[in-house]
Amino acid sequence: MEKKHKTKKIGKGLATMTVATTLLLPSVIPESSVLAVADTYPEKELDKAAAMQQKLMVQSVEAIDDGVKLVLSDNYKAHIKLKTDDVAKISILKQGEEEKETAAITENNWDTPSFEMEETEDTISISTDEITVKINKQPFGIKFLDSEGNVINQDNMDYGAGYEDGKPYVFKDTSNDEAFYGFGEQAGDLNRRGDSMGMWNNDAYNYNKDTKYLYTTIPFFIGLKDEKAYGIFFDNSNRSYYEMASESDDYYYFYANDGQLSYYFAYGPEIQDVLSRYSQLTGTMQRPPKWAIGLHQSKWGYETADEIKGIVEKYREKDIPLDGVHLDIDHMDGYRNFTWGEDFTEDPAAFNQWLQDKGVSSVAVSDPGIKVDEGYYMYDEGTANDYWATNPDGSPYVGEVWPGDSVFPDFAEEDVRDWWAESHRKIFEAGVDGIWNDMNEPAVFDTPTKTQPLDVKYGDMLHSEFHNMFAHYEAMSSDKAFDILKPNKRPFVLTRDMYAGSQRYSTLWTGDNESSWESMRLAIPMNNNVSLSGVPFVGNDIGGFAKRPTPELFARWIEFGVFIPFSRIHADNGSTVAFDPDAKDIPGQEPWQYGEEVEEISKKYIEQRYKLMPYLYNAFIEASENGTPVQQPLVYQFQEDENTYDINQQFMFGSSLLVAPVVEEGATSRDVYLPEGETWVDYWTGEEHAGGQTINKEADLGTLPLYVKKGDIIPHRNVQKHTGEKPLENLILDTYLEDKSSYTFIEDDGETEDYKNGEYNETTFNLNRKGKHVEFTSNQKVSNYDSALETYTLKLNNENMPRKVQAASTKYKEVDSAEEVKQNENTYFYDEENKTTYVNVPVDEAKKVKIFFHNDKKTEKAKGKGKNKH
């Protein structure tokens, strides 16, 4: 593996400029382009020399039910607890201090595993069937070993772990070939080895590859060494730092400004196992409403409901699928939250009903800053009940955001969260379907740091501790709004900021990116690492938010953008920077704004997403159950192939599709690495390639390189204008059969939470090659949903011509087209040009369906004699 020695420099950004906050006011015209913010408050550097000198020593040992408790020197103690046979929690605390958990943790009722304890003069060991935690006494340090005694991970004994001037820190040994993934939302490569990173949620408008602080904090990472994976979750919400072999090839370390030293260690050895454990610890996403995984259209600057209606009408006229529109701050009355501006629409209920009639859902933005305005119901209610975050003297903290002087809900308090949830009533009653939480770092315009002072109080926490969790608690409240006001409707909450565990309540978009090739290239490894951080529902503004893309860039971005979990086109109000008055009211970033060729490309790929909706929806169901990413870096599935460890510009979309976007300006081809151990089929041409090699794929402007794992089944459906336009009556099973293929398909209503009561169907499809014929069976394991499904269409790719098709005594009829097959039960068609067999099978077919093929010679002879029915 290539070793990387990268130095991250603090970018020149808004926080370093005296006009940092006034740049965010619409009345100001910036003198130059707005740059990404790379810093907020000054960093607290760790004094490594001091850390080296103050090593902790074990003074006594006590066995406890789930591990050991140690008395350490310097008035410290340590708890090493076994949560499962492959998960341990390490805490180092002051004597008399109680362990705290952040809002990330949802699972704390683990079944303690069986373990053995052994103590020698120098060490203490606690062992399960999977791992051993070996504790060195003098000095204190921890080593994790697998069941065979191999070292998985160990403290670096030169520096160790502890506190330096109140800052909790841990140093770990590393080897030259160890890779690091995760860390939530970060700008840079997939493999973070050699990187210096920070976590402090930050309004990083127009960020770039050198921006250190972005919008989301997830202090979890995965280490991969000797093809074995482990994970570490640093359960500390304060601003934190990660030096991942950035200073030495021998060690890495992480630390925080304040708070406790507490972290969880999980052993794989598969990345999939580590992520599953982390998802068990912090929770999984909820099953989304189906409309939420369709295409969304947005723009900051759709100023009226009529303008949005015109956009929707154009989508429908052009037969481009669309499921959602987003209402940015333009829809409010003077930027007052949970209100409607009369200039936007005098009848919001009628507007939302019009959208519903078109099959389009609306998502309304919600900003946490509440305008200081007597007579505004939100301000009056919050003030009357002391619901605001406060200054140290107990007075409400006031900061400037879009409405002007604003106060901020104290989301740390449950009664405030309940009130905020109830406050969604006005927009929900008007027919809004989803909530979009923005500006929730929380952003503030009139401070040099773009956020609140660190001593603002939230509950019993200071802002310094609460800051990274602000959006988490807001998302919790927004999610609760659905429970209260839309019972049994699946929630959709979109957020710009997160903390670990926020995936339980919300979907993440990666903030205010830029219309540039670099920004598109950053999005792929960023999404992959967010996905490896327990957040499967993630996306980026397609086309870029700041500035405007060229037609070529938009075409390449929409090709990539339909293959990411959250697919939304979004743009700001100006062509150069967001606040240039001369650039106001320019066209949005709709597909037809870039010429006929780009419009056709956009339509083709958006339709492709909708064809894949059964496949995509089932990938989301799996994600909601165990945290499996929808968008996966190649290393997630192929960690035994070291060539996948550093691949930035490819990913898996679900378990079967490999996506390799074209990300260089002017490129008409690209190299694609195909992981070893599989045969890969070109989705567009059917050409097969052995894995373990790099190929060059020709890719004109309308071609996205896309490959399928041979042996897999990918369920499709016919294109719809929106996800709820037509019931699913025919399921197409796009199959790339080798010897056998299997797929389990789950179907529910896609809208309610009735599936939790068992109202769903679960069917397993099996195809087996038996000599010169293929057998198909379907087995419905669960049948509690009233499905509209009538038929399955088997689409068998790269096959010889069928000789006959039958199920027991029922003989299938050969017809003249694939469309005819889909419309008629017990039929089949062979597409000679593409070597594809289509077979229509009734859903209630109880017998094996057998497809008998000619051998190669007979096929060639038949081709020579017969007519081409394609």
Report the alpha-carbon distance of residue 836 to residue 800 in Å, rounded. 8
Report the alpha-carbon distance of residue 260 to residue 280 in Å, rounded. 22
Q: DSSP states of 292-356 as a string?
A: GGSEEE--TT--SHHHHHHHHHHHHHTT----EEEE-GGGSBTTBTT---TTT-S-HHHHHHHHH
Phi-psi region of 762 (alpha: psi -120 to 50; beta: other; left: phi over 0): beta
Enclosing H/E stretch for 604: helix 596-611
Report the alpha-carbon distance of residue 749 to residue 289 in Å, rounded. 9
Nearest Cα neighbor of 243 from 43, 518, 465, 14 is 43
Tokens 């989705």 belong to residue: 683
Provide the sign of the torsion angle of the four alpha carbons 140, 142, 148, 150, taken in this order.
Answer: negative
Report the alpha-carbon distance of residue 429 to residue 547 in Å, rounded. 35
Query: Residues near 42 by Cβ (< 8 Å), separated by ≥ 6?
Result: none
Under DSSP, the state recorded for 388 is B
Rounded (to 5) percent helix, strand, coil in the chain: 20, 30, 45
Q: 613 is written with which tokens? A: 């909706």
Enclosing H/E stretch for 746: strand 740-747
Report the alpha-carbon distance of residue 445 to residue 443 in Å, rounded. 7
Report the alpha-carbon distance of residue 92 to residue 95 in Å, rounded. 9
Kindly list the distances between the CA atom of residue 513 and the CA atoms of 366, 539, 648, 706, in Å, as whole numbers in the listed order. Answer: 20, 11, 18, 25
Q: 634 is written with which tokens? A: 């190649």
Residue type at position 456: V
Nearest Cα neighbor of 463 from 239, 240, 260, 241 is 239
Using DSSP, state whether 238 is helix, strand or coil. Answer: coil
Report the alpha-carbon distance of residue 715 to residue 707 in Å, rounded. 15
HEC-encoded secondary structure of 95-131: CCCCCCCCCCCCCCCCCCCCCEEEECCCEEEEECCCE
Q: Bridge-partner residues for 773, per DSSP? A: 770, 852
Q: 251 is written with which tokens? A: 């060690």
Neighbours of 525 (CB within 10 A): 24
Tokens 């959208």 belong to residue: 355
Q: 830 is written with which tokens? A: 């062979």
Phi-psi region of 679 (alpha: psi -120 to 50; beta: other; left: phi over 0): beta
Q: 263 is written with which tokens? A: 């972290």
Rg of the chain taking only CA atoms, in angstroms? 28
Report the alpha-carbon distance of residue 817 to residue 341 in Å, rounded. 54
Provide the sign of the torsion angle of the four alpha carbons 687, 693, 695, 701, taken in this order.
Answer: positive
Tokens 């019993």 belong to residue: 460
Query: Residues near 393 by Cβ (< 8 Å), separated by ≥ 6?
Result: none
Catalytically active residues are 438, 441, 512
Report the alpha-carbon distance of residue 130 to residue 22 in Å, rounded. 56
First-residue to last-residue Cα distance in the chain? 48
Tokens 């770092």 belong to residue: 441
Report the alpha-carbon distance of residue 358 to residue 288 in Å, rounded. 20
Using DSSP bridges, classify how beta strands 493-495 and 434-437 pair: parallel, antiparallel or unpaired.
Answer: parallel
Tokens 């607890």 belong to residue: 81
